[in-house]
């Protein structure tokens, strides 16, 4: 005869605070205080309560607690899962929130929205608000969203922290990288190596991180009297690559290029290979973001580490501080830009015609 199937496990019953208190012979108030970390009771009593809670698999009723406190201890996080950078950022947010007993509701939306009439991001925000989140951490898809875009958040006085990409028209707390300072540091690195014919390469300049990196780079180059600058920038990635192919094919081609992100640098490597230009012998390349593929490129890519995990933790910490101490209406948003770190690898070197 075939073996009998294993019986279905018995459904785990929820143990209430009242039942737990009866089990250990203490008042509900005493049990509640001990479970919340109070040390004003005898160690023997605390041990008895904690052992029973573990044995009976007691879990507090978060719904009841939220009705009493007005807080669900849930935070909505909207960050596009487009690459490892955002993945590290999400992990930093998660670790900071869970350490303070908050749950994360991760909501995905399209990574790139170019149509101003696109309502998908706003719809996701509304769904989070409907689930009674205590606050929202957002990596926006566009810089130009107006204040009215977030009316439901403002009406409910929910804290909003924008991360990585600042909103130009929205008064919200912001945590991001020092993009402009990173662009300036890239210029200084290449100038120090001896490069005087340089270029900046990027796409979608409407995105504030890219625009600020380009601005920082160009401002530093303009202050160097004997330096020429070529812009390889377009709204479209493919068009920027075409501009690079044309510029690097000229006799007076740039000897170094700063790319506003590592993805652009990877495309530039392909252009150099097709033109039979060696990196860094003929062309030095600097990226931005220090993506996981950068160290494995040939040669390994010089780039800027933005510490995305720390950005995520900082954004979550800012939101928690707003929950603990809500600002008055009209309060000035806090803007934080964390330094970026230049990671020097083999893609940059002095130009072959450098003068000692």
Q: What is the pLDDT of residues 57-91, one digit of tens each?
A: 776 655 444 444 456 789 999 987 666 899 899 99
**What was the pLDDT predicted at 10?**
44
Residue 261 is encoded by which pair of tokens?
A: 């992100």
Is 328 in a helix, a strand, or coil?
Answer: coil
Torsion of CA 74, 76, 81, 85, to 10 degrees: -80
Q: How many Cβ atoms are within 10 Å of 233's Cβ, its own excluded? A: 20
Q: What is the DSSP letter of 291?
A: -
For residues 213 and 288, give the distance between their C-alpha atoms in angstroms, rounded to a whole number: 9
DSSP secondary structure letters along 208-243: HHHHHHHHHHHHHHHT-TT-EEEEEEESSHHHHHHH
Instruction: Please check whether the domain covering 179-306 is classified as CATH 3.40.50.2300.
Output: yes
Query: Residues in the chain with pLDDT < 70?
Result: 1-14, 59-71, 81-83, 109-119, 353-356
**What was the pLDDT predicted at 67?**
41
For residues 171 and 167, give the distance between their C-alpha atoms in angstroms, rounded to a whole number: 8
Specify the CATH superfamily of domain 17-60: lambda repressor-like DNA-binding domains (1.10.260.40)
Q: Which residues contact 133 (CB under 8 A, 6 or more apart)?
A: 72, 74, 75, 76, 105, 158
Residue 56 is encoded by which pair of tokens?
A: 């009976």
Residue 270 is encoded by which pair of tokens?
A: 């392909």
**What was the pLDDT predicted at 155?**
80
| 260-271 confidence digits (pLDDT tens) | 999 999 999 999
Q: What is the DSSP letter of 83?
A: S
Which CATH number, 3.40.50.2300, 3.40.190.80, 3.30.565.10, 3.40.50.300, labels domain 71-177+308-338?
3.40.50.2300
Residue pointed to by tokens 């807080």:
71
**What was the pLDDT predicted at 107?**
84
- Domain boundary assignment for the chain: 17-60, 71-177+308-338, 179-306
**What was the pLDDT predicted at 122?**
75
**What was the pLDDT predicted at 181?**
98
For residues 165 and 131, give the distance between their C-alpha atoms in angstroms, rounded to a whole number: 25
Q: Do domains 17-60 and 71-177+308-338 have the same CATH topology?
A: no
**What was the pLDDT predicted at 70?**
53
Q: Which residues contact 41 (CB under 8 A, 6 or more apart)?
A: 30, 33, 34
Helix axes 237-248 and 262-274, enclosed angle (nearest 10): 40
Question: Per DSSP, which regions of the chain are E strands?
Answer: 74-78, 103-107, 135-138, 160-163, 173-177, 197-203, 228-234, 256-259, 284-286, 303-305, 335-338, 341-343
């Amino acid at each position: 005869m075939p073996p009998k199937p294993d019986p279905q496990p018995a459904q785990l019953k929820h143990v209430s605070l009242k039942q737990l208190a009866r089990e250990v012979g203490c008042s509900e108030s005493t049990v509640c205080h001990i479970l919340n970390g109070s040390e004003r009771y005898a160690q023997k009593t605390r041990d008895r309560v904690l052992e029973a809670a573990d044995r009976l698999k007691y879990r507090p009723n978060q719904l009841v607690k939220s009705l009493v406190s007005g807080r669900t201890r849930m935070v909505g996080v909207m960050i596009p899962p487009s690459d490892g950078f955002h993945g590290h950022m999400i992990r930093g947010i998660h670790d900071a929130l869970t350490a303070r007993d908050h749950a994360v509701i991760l909501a995905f939306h399209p990574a790139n929205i170019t149509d101003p009439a696109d309502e998908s991001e706003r719809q996701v925000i509304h769904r989070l608000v409907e689930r009674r989140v205590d606050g929202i951490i957002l990596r926006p898809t566009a810089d130009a969203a107006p204040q009215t875009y977030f009316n439901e958040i403002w009406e409910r006085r929910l804290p909003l922290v924008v991360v990585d990409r600042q909103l130009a028209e929205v008064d919200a707390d912001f945590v991001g990288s020092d993009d402009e300072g990173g662009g300036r540091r890239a210029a200084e690195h290449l100038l120090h190596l001896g490069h005087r014919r340089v270029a900046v390469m990027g796409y979608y300049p409407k995105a504030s991180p890219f625009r600020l990196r380009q601005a920082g780079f160009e401002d530093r180059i303009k202050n160097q009297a004997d330096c020429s600058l070529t812009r390889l920038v377009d709204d479209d990635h493919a068009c920027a690559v075409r501009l690079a192919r044309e510029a690097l094919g000229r006799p007076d081609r740039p000897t170094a290029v700063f790319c506003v992100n590592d993805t652009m640098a990877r495309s530039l490597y392909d252009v150099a290979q097709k033109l039979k230009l060696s990196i860094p012998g003929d062309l030095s390349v600097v990226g931005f973001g220090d993506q996981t593929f950068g160290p494995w490129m040939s040669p390994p890519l010089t780039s800027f580490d933005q510490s995305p995990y720390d950005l995520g933790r900082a954004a979550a910490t800012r939101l928690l501080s707003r929950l603990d101490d809500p600002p008055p209406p009209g309060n000035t948003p806090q803007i934080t830009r964390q330094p970026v770190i230049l990671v020097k690898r083999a893609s940059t070197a002095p130009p072959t015609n450098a003068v000692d």
